[in-house]
C-alpha cells in the first residue's frame, strides 16, 4: 500500500536497526533486474533447520510478518529480499544494497521502500514462532491498555490463519473490551471483539461479534472445548463453534486463547426471529426470546420467576416492551407451576406442550457428565430461548472452565455424586416425573457407548496435536503449572499430568453415572 510517511524512522527503533544493519550482508554489486512483486522470503537454503521456504505476508498497512517453525534454538534468520528494479530499500537513512538481511526472532525491523518517483512505503518486518495454530495480532488505538468490560477501544486485528484455514481479509478493523466475571480478575484476561463490518474468519461465516476465552485457571485449556464438542455431538440447535489461536496484544504475547461465538440471536447462532420494539401482536410476541439465568442480574431488563425464584435476564430483546415482558414472564411462571407440582407425573403432557424436552434431556446429561458447578442452584450462565410459535428450549452451552474436577468447593472436584439432578431447582422438579427420568435413561443408553471414546479422542487430538507447541508457549508466558490458582483443587506440575487428570476424571465420572442410571 503506497503512502507518504515521514522522512525518518522513529527514534524508538534506531538502536535495534543500527545493530541489525551492521550485521547485514552488503553487496553493492547485487544483480538488479528483478521484475516481480516486492517479496520477503525466509529461505531454507539460508536458514539451517528450516524445513521449507516461508514467504512473509505483507499486510496493506505495511506490517510484514511470518510464522517460523524451525528449531527454537535458532534466533537469527536470514531474510531474502526480492526488490523490483525500480525500487530501493532504505534502513534508517542508508540505502541498503544487499539481497539478504539478518532478523532476530520477535524483533521488529523498520525499513522504507522507495520508488523511482520518490514515493515511499514504510514496512515493519517481524518473525514469530509458529505454534501450528492461527495467530491474532491485536493492536489497540495508540496502544491503550484494555481496562474496561464496558467501554470498547478501537483496534486492529491482524490474522495469520496458518495452513488450516483460508482467510482472504487478514486485516480487520475491530473494537475490543474485557469480558467475564471471576475470569476478568485473573492475570490472563478474556476479551470480546466487535468487528466494524461483518467479516468471515477462520472458516466461519461473516459476522461481527466474537469472544476470546483465556482459560487461565483451566490448565488443560480444553474444558470449554470438550463441552462444546459434546454439544455438537449430542444437541440439536446451536452450540458455540471454536478455534484455538495465539494472541499478541500490543506486541506482548498473551498465550493460547479460545476463539468462540458470542451467544446472540443471529442466522448462524441462535436462529430465531427477533422481536421488534413495536411488536405487540399476540402471535408475534410468542418469540423469539433469548434469556440467561444469571444471579448477577447484570442486564438492563430482568425478572425473577414466581415459583422457583430463578433470575432471568433478557439478551434478546434487550429492551422488551410491556407485552413482550409480560408474555415471557407468564410463560416461564406457567412452566414452573406445572413442574413444581408434587403430582408433576400426572401433568407430563402439560409441560411437554411448553418446553422442548429433548433439549432439557441433552443439556442435563452434558452438564451432569462435566459436573458444572454453575448449572446447579440458582444457576449462572444458563441460556434458554423460545422461537416464535415454538416451545421453550434450554441452551446454548456456555462457560465450563470450572467443570470436570477443576474446582475446589461444593464437592464438585469429585467424579462421583449427583449435582445438577439434586441441586438445580428445575431439574430436581423434573426428576420427580418418572417419564422424564426414563427419557434421560433412554437417551443415556443411546449415547453412552460412543461418548467416552469420542471425547477422549478429541482431548488427545487437541492436547497433543493441535496444542502440542502452543501450550508450551502459553505456560512459558503464564508459569502456573506448579501453582494452585483459583479454583484449582490440585497443581500437578505439567501439562501432560493436567490432561491425564481430566481424562481420568471423565472416565470415572461416566462409569459412575452409567452404573447409577442403569439402576433407574
pLDDT for residue 69? 86
Q: Which domains does the chain have, with CATH numbers?
A: 11-128 (2.60.40.2340)
Alpha-carbon distance of 51 to 63, in angstroms, equals 24
* Phi, psi angles (nearest 5°) of residue 253: -70, 125
Alpha-carbon distance of 387 to 355, in angstroms, equals 11
Q: Between β-strands 109-115 and 380-386, what pairing exists: parallel, antiparallel or unpaired? A: unpaired
pLDDT for residue 14? 40
pLDDT for residue 21? 41
pLDDT for residue 227? 98
pTM: 0.91
Per-residue pLDDT of the chain (520 residues; tens, 9 = 90+): 433 333 444 433 443 444 444 444 334 444 457 888 999 999 999 998 888 999 999 999 999 999 998 666 688 999 999 999 889 999 988 998 889 999 999 999 999 999 989 899 999 999 999 999 999 999 999 999 999 999 999 999 999 999 889 999 999 999 999 999 899 999 999 999 999 999 999 999 999 999 999 999 999 999 999 999 999 999 999 999 999 999 999 999 999 999 999 999 999 999 999 999 999 999 999 999 999 999 888 888 999 999 999 999 999 999 999 999 999 999 999 999 999 999 999 999 999 999 999 999 999 999 999 999 999 987 889 999 999 999 999 999 999 999 999 999 999 999 999 999 999 999 999 999 999 999 999 999 999 999 999 999 999 999 999 999 999 999 999 999 999 999 999 999 999 999 999 999 999 999 999 999 999 9
pLDDT for residue 380? 87
Torsion over CA of 295, 319, 193 and 474, rounded to 10 degrees?
10
pLDDT for residue 34? 83
pLDDT for residue 297? 86
Alpha-carbon distance of 76 to 107, in angstroms, equals 10
pLDDT for residue 195? 98
pLDDT for residue 74? 81
Report whether 473 contacts 253 (CB < 8 A). yes
Alpha-carbon distance of 482 to 517, in angstroms, equals 37
CA dihedral sign of residues 259, 260, 261, 262: negative
Q: What angle do CA 162, 164, 169 make, to 5 degrees?
A: 60
pLDDT for residue 70? 64
The grid cell for 407 is 474446582
pLDDT for residue 12? 39
Report whether 254 contacts 248 (CB < 8 A). yes
Q: How far is CA 380 from CA 52, 199, 383, 393, 412, in A?
A: 49, 31, 9, 17, 16
pLDDT for residue 72? 64
Q: What angle do CA 163, 240, 372 make, to 5 degrees?
A: 120
Amino acid at each position: 500500500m503506497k503512502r507518504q510517511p515521514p522522512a525518518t524512522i522513529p527514534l524508538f527503533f534506531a538502536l535495534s536497526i543500527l545493530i541489525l544493519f551492521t550485521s547485514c550482508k552488503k553487496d553493492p554489486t547485487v544483480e538488479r533486474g528483478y521484475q516481480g512483486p516486492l517479496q520477503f522470503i525466509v529461505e531454507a537454503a539460508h536458514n539451517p533447520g528450516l524445513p521449507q521456504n516461508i514467504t512473509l505476508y505483507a499486510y496493506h498497512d505495511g506490517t510484514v510478518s511470518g510464522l517460523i517453525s524451525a528449531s527454537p534454538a535458532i534466533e537469527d534468520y536470514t531474510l531474502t529480499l526480492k526488490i523490483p528494479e525500480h525500487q530501493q530499500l532504505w534502513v534508517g537513512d542508508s540505502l541498503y544494497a544487499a539481497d539478504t538481511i539478518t532478523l532476530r526472532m520477535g524483533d521488529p525491523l523498520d525499513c522504507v521502500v522507495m520508488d523511482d518517483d520518490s514515493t515511499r512505503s514504510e514496512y515493519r518486518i517481524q518473525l514469530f514462532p509458529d505454534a501450528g495454530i492461527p495467530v491474532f495480532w491485536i493492536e489497540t488505538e495508540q496502544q491503550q491498555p484494555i481496562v474496561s468490560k464496558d467501554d470498547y477501544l478501537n483496534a486492529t486485528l491482524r490474522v495469520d490463519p496458518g495452513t488450516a484455514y483460508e482467510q482472504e481479509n487478514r486485516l480487520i478493523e475491530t473494537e475490543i473490551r474485557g469480558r467475564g466475571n471471576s475470569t476478568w480478575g485473573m492475570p490472563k484476561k478474556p476479551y470480546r471483539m466487535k468487528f466494524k463490518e461483518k467479516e468471515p474468519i477462520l472458516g466461519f461465516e461473516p459476522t461481527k461479534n466474537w469472544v476470546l476465552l483465556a482459560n487461565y485457571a483451566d490448565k488443560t485449556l480444553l474444558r470449554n472445548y470438550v463441552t462444546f464438542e459434546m454439544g455438537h455431538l449430542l444437541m440439536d440447535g446451536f452450540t458455540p463453534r471454536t478455534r484455538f489461536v495465539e494472541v499478541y496484544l500490543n506486541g506482548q504475547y498473551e498465550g493460547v486463547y479460545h476463539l468462540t461465538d458470542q451467544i446472540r440471536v443471529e442466522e448462524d447462532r441462535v436462529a430465531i426471529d427477533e422481536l421488534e420494539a413495536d411488536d405487540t401482536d399476540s402471535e408475534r410476541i410468542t418469540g423469539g426470546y433469548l434469556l440467561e439465568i444469571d444471579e448477577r442480574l447484570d442486564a438492563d431488563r430482568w425478572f425473577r420467576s414466581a415459583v422457583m425464584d430463578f433470575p432471568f435476564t433478557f439478551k434478546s430483546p434487550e429492551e422488551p416492551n410491556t407485552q413482550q415482558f409480560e408474555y415471557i414472564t407468564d410463560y416461564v411462571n406457567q412452566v414452573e407451576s406445572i413442574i413444581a407440582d408434587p403430582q408433576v407425573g400426572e401433568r407430563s403432557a402439560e409441560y411437554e406442550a411448553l418446553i422442548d424436552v429433548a433439549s432439557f434431556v441433552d443439556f442435563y446429561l452434558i452438564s451432569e457428565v462435566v459436573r458444572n458447578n454453575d448449572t446447579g442452584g440458582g444457576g449462572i450462565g444458563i441460556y434458554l430461548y423460545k422461537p416464535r410459535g415454538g416451545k421453550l428450549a434450554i441452551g446454548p452451552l456456555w462457560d465450563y472452565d470450572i467443570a470436570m474436577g477443576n474446582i475446589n468447593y461444593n464437592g464438585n472436584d469429585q467424579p462421583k455424586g449427583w449435582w445438577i439432578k439434586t441441586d438445580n431447582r428445575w431439574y430436581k422438579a423434573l426428576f420427580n416425573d418418572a417419564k422424564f427420568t426414563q427419557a434421560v435413561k433412554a437417551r443415556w443408553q443411546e449415547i453412552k457407548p460412543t461418548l467416552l471414546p469420542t471425547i477422549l479422542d478429541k482431548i488427545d487430538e487437541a492436547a497433543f496435536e493441535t496444542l502440542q507447541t502452543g501450550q508450551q508457549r502459553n505456560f512459558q508466558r503464564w508459569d502456573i503449572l506448579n501453582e494452585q490458582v483459583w479454583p484449582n483443587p490440585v497443581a500437578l506440575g505439567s501439562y501432560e499430568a493436567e490432561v491425564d487428570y481430566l481424562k481420568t476424571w471423565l472416565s470415572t465420572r461416566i462409569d459412575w453415572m452409567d452404573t447409577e442410571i442403569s439402576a433407574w
